[in-house]
Amino acid sequence: MQGRSTRRQDVARGLAWLAGFFAAALLVVPKGLSVFAVLMLAATLLALPDAWRSGRPVPRALYVLLAGALGVVAVVAVSMWRDGAPLSVLDNPSRALLLPWCAWLAWTTRMRVSGLWYGALTGLLIAFVVSIAQVSLGVERAGSDANPIVFANAVLALLVLAVFCRPARDGWSWLLLAVVIVLANVVVILSGSRGVLPGLGLVMLMLLVGTTARHRWWRLGGAACLLLALFAAMWTIPWLSGQFRLDQLHDDVSGFAAGEVDQPISARMGLLSVAWDAFRASPMTGAGVGTFADRIDASAYCQGAQRHFCGLGHAHNDVAQWGATMGLIGIAGLAMLYLTPLWVAARQIRRDRLHAPIGPAWTVGMLVATYVVSGLTQSMFAHGLSTSAFVVFGGLLLGGALVRDADRSTGDYSHK
C-alpha cells in the first residue's frame, strides 16, 4: 500500500512538472493552455487522496492566496449581481482561483520549478519562430493568434521566468541567458508593442544591477546608459521608429486636443477620460462590471460619429478599468490580486535572505512588477492569456518557494 502511494505521488509530481512546462512552452500557441489544464487536473486527482490522508499542515501562505483569490472573485461577483451583468464577466476574474490551486499543487507534490524555466525557454523560441514566420508572410505586427500587445506581454512574462527562475550556475548559462534576451527583444520589436518596453527595461535593469552588491553603482550607471542608448536607437533608426510608431507620437497627442481618438495614444487618453467620468459618477461602486463598452458608446466621442474608438471594450489601464467599473472596491480587488502573491513572495525573500534576484520568490516579485508597469497602458486582466499567465506562473512559483522552505526546515532535498 505504501509503495503504491509513493508511486502515485511520483506520477503526480511528474504530471505537475509537465503542467508547468507546457503552460510556459505553449503559452503563445493557440489553445496551448488546454494541455496545461489537462495535466494539472490529472496531477490534482492523483495528489489529493494522499494529501488528504497525510495530515500535513498547510502553510499559512496558501490560505492567504486563497483568501485573496476569493476576495477578487467576490468583488466582481457582487458588482455583477448588483448591475445584472452576464455571468461571462466572471471568466477572467475567476481565474484568480488558479493562483492558490497551482500553489497548493506545487507544494503538495513537491514540484520542481525547473519545468517552468525549461518551458519558458521553449516558449520564447516558439514565439520567435512564430514572429519570424508571420512577418515573412507580410503581417505588419506579429501576434500569433492574439492581439500583438497581449502577445508581447506574454513574451515578457516568459522572459521573466527565463531570467529570474534560471538555475544558479555560471558559465554556459550566461550565454544562454544572452540568447534568450535577444530572442525576446526581437519578438517584442516584431510585435510593435510600445507598452511592453518599460517592463522589458525593468527586467534588464534588475538583471544588470541586482546580481551582487559589488560595483552595484557602476553597473547601475552602465545599465542606465545602455537603456538610454537603446531608446535613442528606437527614436533615430527609421525602421525601429516606424515599427513602434514613435514617429507618430507628436501628431497623435496633438490630435487628441482636436477631438481625434482613433490613434493609439489619443485613444488611450480618450479612454482615461471616459473612465474618470464613470468613476466620478459612482466612486465607491463604479458604473458596473461589464459596462465600460457602453460608457464608451455613450461618450461625446461617439455621438454622431463612427469611429474605431467606439468599438473598444476596456480602458487600456488596469486601475482605470477596475475603478471605472467597480469603483474603489474594484481598485481594492485589483490591489489584492497584485499584493497577495507579492506579500507571500516578499515574505519568502526576507525569510531566506535572498539578496540576488534569482529563484521562484524573486521571479514572482518581478512578474508582479512587470504586470503593474504593463498595466499602465494595457488592461492586463481583460485578456484571458495574460490573466492565466499571471495566476498559473505565480501559483506554481510560490508553491515551489514553499517547497524549498520546507526542505530547508527538514533537511530533505531528495526530490531535487
> Taking the alpha carbons of 378, 222, 365, 35 in that order, is the dihedral positive or negative?
positive
Confidence of residue 21 (pLDDT cuts 50, 70, 90): very high
Q: Which amino acid is it at 309? A: F
Least confident piece of the model among 79-93, 277-291, 306-320, 329-343: 306-320
Residue of 263, 345, 369 lying closest to 307 (CA atoms): 263
pTM of the full structure: 0.89
Banded model confidence at residue 70, pLDDT cuts 50, 70, 90? very high
For residue 396, give the nearest of 4, 19, 3, 9 by alpha carbon.
Answer: 19
* Among 16, 5, 3, residue whose Cα is nearest residue 109: 16
pLDDT digits over 165-210, tens only? 988 765 557 788 888 988 998 899 898 888 888 898 888 888 877 6
Q: For residues 69 and 72, what is the distance between their CA atoms, to the nearest angstrom?
A: 5
**Residue 397: pLDDT band with limits 50, 70, 90:** very high
Long-range contacts of 303-307 (CB under 8 A, 24+ apart): 307/261, 307/262
Q: Which three cell numbers stand for residue 173?
A: 548559462
Domain ranges (residues) in the chain: 2-53+63-245+316-406
The mean per-residue pLDDT over the stretch 96-101 comes to 97
Calculate mean pLDDT across residues 239-254.
Answer: 60
pLDDT of residue 100: 97
Q: Per residue in 262-296, pLDDT tens?
A: 677 778 888 899 999 999 999 999 999 988 888 88
